[in-house]
Amino acid sequence: MKIAIIGAGPGGLSAAYDLRKAGHDVIIYEGAPTVGGLMGGIREPGWDWSVEKFYHHWFTSDGAMMNLMRETGLDRKVEFHTPKTVIFYKDRFYPLDTPLAALRFPGFNLLDVARFGFVTIYLRYLARWQSLERYRADAWLRKAYGKRVYAISFEPMLEGKFGPHAKQVPLSWFWARVKARSTRLGTYAGGFQVFSDDLAAHLAQMGVQFQMNARVEQIRKEGDGFLLRVNGEEQHAGRVLATVSPQLFAKMVPDLPDGALGNLLKLKHMGAVVLILSLKHQLSTEGYYWFNLPKSAGFPFLAAVEHTNFLPPEHFGGDHILYLGDYLDAGHEYFSLSKEELLERFLPSLKRINPDFSPAWVKKSWLNKTSYAQPVPEVNHSQNIPPIRSGVEGLYFVSMSHIYPWDRGTNFAVEWGRDAARLMLEDIG
């Protein structure tokens, strides 16, 4: 059977692997010129590695991704490091990612540290997300951790990630972060674009076909199969799996049942704006990698990530790579600002990290934007997740919005991509 997959991100690539392994003809349509989706990267002359357009890393608990790489022989190129993460408190930066760091943190007393430890242990090892999704994270965390711990550690994160939706996010989403994340972070030798290219090359050797710069405009049921309009031309497939945003999927498929269409359009999400800087000098001389920055402190972005305090600058021709990123509603003004306008907004804040910073340090910059980067879950959100079987026989849909209660990430994209392939194979029989 000919199976069409829309999207060459990790979900689409992993589904293609299982479907082709089962003997089906698989073709992947990707609107971009390269594979990888949000994992895609850029590479300058003189760099040995690529830099992701939107920062990425793996956790030690990312079992779905690690299993796929073992099966395809790509695991030999995975490496893990333990970079330093800090938070902003009273105009200084402090580590707060280990028990010892919590004990030393000047913003907490012993009772705060004890509550921090006990509540985190409960969430990580004892709680189940199904019983937590009826609570709002904001109210529950404020009460359980105490006002001081919540205000310093978690309120800035929720407000930064979800903006005006922060108080509606369920506790299950926070549980997933505590449950799955590790302080050791993983990457792929050469960068995530190289990983995407290597996985795509493996699929091509298996016989998977790729059509790049292929914009799927419409999907219609036709007999036992489907008619796809791709770049204005008609193509046929027996089954279709779409790995795009809910809004784009709803636009592609005019024949969706009314109930399915309404559920898709109800799903909320945030976009992302990420400015990447290539610097002449190291910004954080302390070697800090990830700076969590509260909006209330006046920073114009949510996070500063000095990539070359995680990986050696020698991978990038000696350049020091810095990400400045934020999650924002699609109507936020940042989406309409140019790179030069955002540089003007962002660069002055870097002096708060290193007083010696000067705009003259910037060798080159890149601006990346996407309207679909962070699904926004709500209380009892499991009831809102659209089924992988779309309601149109033979048409399947999976996206970041299916990952709940887990946070968006390549590991869960692989998990849900392979789940979609399994359901397709069951239905094909």
DSSP string, 345-400: HHGGGGGGT-TT--GGGEEEEEEEEEEEEEEE--TTGGGGPPPSB-SSTTEEE--G
Sign for the pseudo-dihedral over CA of 279, 284, 289, 290: negative
Query: Are residues 277 and 141 part of one domain?
Result: no
Q: What is the number of domains present in the chain?
A: 3
Measured between its terminal Cα atoms, the distance across the chain in Å is 11
Is residue 300 located within the same domain as residue 369?
A: yes
Q: Is residue 184 part of a domain?
A: no
- Same domain membership, residue 210 and residue 137: no
Mapped onto helix, strand or coil, the DSSP state of residue 282 is: coil
* CA gyration radius, the chain: 22
Instruction: Judge whether 309 lies within some domain.
Output: yes
Omega before residue 10 within 30° of 0, cis: no
CATH code of the domain covering residue 372: 3.90.660.20
pLDDT in tens, the chain (429 residues): 899 999 999 999 999 999 999 999 999 999 999 999 999 999 999 999 999 999 999 999 999 999 999 999 999 999 999 999 999 999 999 998 888 888 899 999 999 999 999 999 999 999 999 999 999 999 999 999 999 999 999 999 999 999 999 999 999 999 999 998 999 999 999 999 999 999 999 999 999 999 999 999 999 999 999 999 999 999 999 999 999 999 999 999 988 998 888 889 889 999 999 999 999 999 999 999 999 999 899 999 999 999 999 999 999 999 999 999 999 998 999 999 999 999 999 999 999 999 999 999 999 999 999 999 999 999 999 999 999 999 999 999 999 999 999 988 999 999 999 999 999 999 998
Burial readout 36-56 (b: 16 or more C-beta within 10 A, e: otherwise): bbbbbbeeeeebebbbbbbbb
Looking at the structure, do residues 159 and 146 belong to the same domain, yes or no?
A: yes
Whether residue 5 contacts residue 11, with contact meaning beta carbons closer than 8 Å, is answered with no
Domain containing 63 — which CATH number?
3.50.50.60
Domain identity same for 283 and 305: yes
Give Cβ neighbours of residue 60 (< 8 Å, ≥ 6 apart). 80, 182, 184, 186
* Residue pLDDT, tens place only, 134-150: 999 999 999 999 999 99
The residue segments making up the domain with residue 167 are: 98-179
- Do 223 and 296 have their domain in common? no
Provide the 10 A C-beta neighbour count for residue 177: 17
- Supply 219's token pair: 């999907």
Distance CA 230, CA 308 (A): 40
Please check whether residue 338 lies inside any domain of the structure.
yes
- What is the helix, strand, coil percentage profile of the chain, to 5? 45, 25, 30
Q: Does any domain span residue 91?
A: no
Residues 142 and 236 placed together within one structural domain of the fold: no
Helix (H) or strand (E) holding 211: strand 209-211
Residue 225: name the closest of 13, 25, 14, 43 by CA. 25
Q: What is the DSSP letter of 170?
A: B
Which residue, among 273, 326, 367, 296, has the nearest Cα to 161 in the 3D structure? 326
